[in-house]
Amino acid sequence: MKRIALLGMPNTGKSTFFNRLTGAGARVGNWPGITVDLLAAKILLAGTMVEVVDLPGIYNLHGFSDDEQVVRHFLESQAVNGLVVILNASQLDRQLALLLQLKALKLPMTLVLNMSDEAKQLGIKIDLAALARNLDVPVTLISAKYGQGFESARQAIEQLLHTHPAVIRADTAGLSQDDNIEVELDRIVGNTVNTPITLAPDLTRRLDRVLLHPWLGLPLFFITVFLLFQLVYGIGTPLQDAMNWGLEHIKTGLLQPALANAPLPVQSFILDGLFDGVGTVLSFLPIIVVFFIFMAIIEDSGYLARAAYLMDALMAKVGLDGRSFVMQLMGFGCNVPALMGTRVMRSRALRLLTMMVIPFSLCSARLQVFLFFTTAIFAPRAAAVVMFSLYLMSFLMAFLTALVWRGKYRSVEPLLLELPPYRFPTFKQLLVQGWQQSQHFLKGASGFIVGGVVVVWALTHYPFNVPPASPATLAGQLADWMVPVFQPLGIDRLLSVALLFGFIAKEIVIGALAVIYGAGQSNLAGVIAGKLDWVQAYSFMLFTLIYTPCLSTVAVLKQESKSYWFTFIAVAWPLGLAWVVSFAFYQGARALGW
Amino acid sequence: MHTSLDHLFPSQTGTIETIDVSPELGRRMAALGLRPGRRVEMVRAAPLRGPLQIRIGHTEIMIRRVDAAKINVNLVA
């Protein structure tokens, strides 16, 4: 198989070029020893199938950031026909350094200068023929976003494949060679690139004057995130409801009649186990698509990098950055896309720390449980205070977690972030984002989620001759063993079975309680108010807030970290924390005589 | 006038003289265009002693004050 690797600096539109070159057929490839997702696609080029790999953007071939190590590891271990190097045409004065470093690898190369539209606007003139002669590498000038020049770039790649039909390995001496390229860089840029000396105050500078204003910047940032949140979940949640409505109809209208003659355990397994598992996976898709469409807008626009700038003074203290904060806030809608969104942070340590923090965000599913409990147990005035205290607790736990774990997940990457010009992604780019991310979720998390739902189904339904979730089921027995653990929290056997259900998804806790208490959904509130006092109820809510948000979150933690150990910590830590907090609250409240 | 980058006021420009950082940070700085001889402009500073926004050629960067303090510049009048 022929193979081409795409390489370039961050913010050069490399992924846009990759998507234009490969269409929608990209998938996450599996490469030994590489812990980030690399997109790859097999396409027909020059009459043969070629695998095109999109390597992460890097600043320096010899640098030590996570992405830089990934690229070096890839080039060391994989043979390629050649490299396609993508640089920003308006920043050649520094970006050509990367190409000069890559030349030392002695691999066939072709250079693609992207963002010709921006360079033209800035009045930058590049002598392409002279540049190609100086570098001894073919050069094409394109705009990957709008497509100008794309055909010639494609032909250049085909030409490369034609003249270098065999895959070869990089000369590894070039991976460790010392930089001594600055003189050559300045000579080539001086000979070939003509940059006007004064810059016209462009749109980016005018926008920055407002958006990064010393005093207006932060309020505008909070308004932006608030609007983003409203848009994502205002559009995503109704779509999610529609998906659930459709699934419910398939279940009751199609599956139930079709299975009417099957033995009861088989019916139950297919309907409440398998189908609910698949339904759990599918119900996240609308939210993920909408989330990533909007995320692509604020990321590609360059505003996310500005969020890091605005929030750094506050977030650096807990070892996080402004982008972590955006994802944490988005987690208040749903943790799953927020966790996937951490991919914009390129430092693995910073990403993992952010992924530890996000599950404490009080998502809309948990909100449903809390609204139900507070209205059932508390007077309206007290209910508002209770809800507020839970949100406060959510932030408190998040920052506590960041403080505790920032030592282990300390980002060693320099915080030197490019603030790219404001760019507005095309509609097609947004759709590609939504599509790729939902594919990624389906592939990476669905097996785990369906498996988990089936396990919980088995626990709550076996043996089949007793009512589901009753004391005689496996779940009931498990609850018996767990009595010593949950009793000190004021959480009784029945509630602890509900917590087990809540592990699948918090949305089903209320329904599960109705089953467990043998009450209808409508009079469940009365039953609960009769059985629990407010101290017990609040302790249960604290536990529900802090422990594992849901199976899908765990699946995504695993998918994104690619580490079982991290996933274990990210599940065990909140569980322990939930127990300690509920214990302290319950015992404290009782000691005070409540 | 010799000073360090973090002491520039917004819209002041300096020529970088020396950079006293670890080789690792130095490499990243060089890749972003921060190296001796280059002109760097202070654009603005974030409040609460937050990071600085600077410009080198057509590249704008955010940099923390502690890192900027290690870049010695000669103020351009």
CB of A314 closer than 8 Å to CB of A463: no
Share of chain B above pLDDT 90, in %: 82
Closest residue on chain A to B52 (Cα): A309
| Residues of chain B found within 8 Å of residue A60, distances taken between Cβ atoms | 27-28, 30-31
Catalogue the E-assigned strands of A71-204: 82-88, 109-114, 125-126, 139-141, 193-194
Q: Is B58 in the A-facing interface, judged by CB distances under 8 Å?
A: yes
Please report the pLDDT score of residue A179 as a whole number. Answer: 62
Last residue of a domain, one of A156, A174, A194: A194
Residue of A88, A94, A208, A306 to mutate for B, most B C-beta atoms under 10 A: A94
Q: Test A418 with B46 for CB contact under 8 angstroms.
A: no
- For A527-538, how does the pLDDT look when each residue is reduced to its tens digit (9 = 90+)? 888 889 999 999
Closest residue on chain A to B58 (Cα): A91
| Residues of chain A found within 8 Å of residue B27, distances taken between Cβ atoms | 59-60, 62-63, 179
CATH number for the domain spanning A64: value is 3.40.50.300
Average pLDDT over residues B33-52: 93
Round to whole Å and give the CA distance between A58 and A11. 10
**Domain coverage including residue B26:** 2-76
Residue type, B4: S
In order of A335, A504, A510, A544, the CA distances from A365 in angstroms are 10, 11, 11, 11
Q: Is residue A329 part of a domain?
A: no
Phi (first) and psi of residue A82, to 5 degrees: 180, 175
Q: Is residue A313 part of a domain?
A: no
- For A132-164, how does the pLDDT look when each residue is reduced to its tens digit (9 = 90+)? 999 999 999 999 999 999 999 999 999 999 999
Q: Is residue A259 part of a domain?
A: no
Scan for tokens 């043969």, then name that residue: A48
Q: Test A94 with B57 for CB contact under 8 angstroms.
A: yes
CATH number for the domain spanning B53: value is 2.30.30.90
**Domain coverage including residue A482:** 448-591
Please report the pLDDT score of residue A198 as a whole number. Answer: 64
Q: Is residue A60 part of a domain?
A: yes
Residue type, A7: L
Closest residue to B27, CB basis, from A9, A62, A93: A62
DSSP assignments along A470-503, one per residue = STTSHHHHHHHHTHHHHGGGT--HHHHHHHHHHT
Last residue of a domain, one of A194, A222, A250: A194
- For A44-94, how does the pLDDT look when each residue is reduced to its tens digit (9 = 90+)? 998 899 999 999 999 999 888 899 999 999 999 999 999 999 999 999 999
Please report the pLDDT score of residue A91 as a whole number. Answer: 93
What is the complex's ipTM, to 2 decimals? 0.96
Exposure of A196 in the CB half-sphere (CA atoms within 13 A)? 9
Number of domains making up chain A = 2
Counted across chains A and B, CB pairs separated by less than 8 A come out at: 109
CB of A167 closer than 8 Å to CB of A2: yes
Q: Is residue A321 part of a domain?
A: no
Which residues make beta-bridge pairs with B42? B54
Please report the pLDDT score of residue B23 as a whole number. Answer: 85
Q: Is residue A29 part of a domain?
A: yes
| ∠ Cα A311 A317 A320 (to 5°) | 60
Q: Is B27 in the A-facing interface, judged by CB distances under 8 Å?
A: yes
Q: Is residue A284 part of a domain?
A: no
Q: Is A62 in the B-facing interface, judged by CB distances under 8 Å?
A: yes
CB of A386 closer than 8 Å to CB of A378: yes
| Residues of chain A found within 8 Å of residue B24, distances taken between Cβ atoms | 63-64, 414
Confidence band, pLDDT 50/70/90 cuts, at residue A111: very high
Closest residue on chain A to B63 (Cα): A416
Number of domains making up chain B = 1
Q: Is A491 in the B-facing interface, judged by CB distances under 8 Å?
A: no
Among A residues 115-154, those touching chain B with beta carbons less than 8 Å apart: 122, 124
Q: Is A215 in the B-facing interface, judged by CB distances under 8 Å?
A: yes
Q: Test B67 with A59 for CB contact under 8 angstroms.
A: no
| Residues of chain B found within 8 Å of residue A415, distances taken between Cβ atoms | 51, 62-64, 67
Q: Test B67 with A208 for CB contact under 8 angstroms.
A: no
Please report the pLDDT score of residue A200 as a whole number. Answer: 62
Classified as helix, coil or strand, B5 is helix
| Helices within A301-426 (DSSP H only) | 303-315, 322-330, 335-341, 348-357, 364-377, 380-405
- For A334-386, how does the pLDDT look when each residue is reduced to its tens digit (9 = 90+)? 999 999 999 988 899 999 999 999 999 999 999 999 999 999 999 888 999 99
What does the block give as tokens for A503? 């592990």
| Residues of chain B found within 8 Å of residue A94, distances taken between Cβ atoms | 30-33, 56-57, 59
Rounded to the nearest angstrom, the minimum Cα separation between B31 and chain A is 6
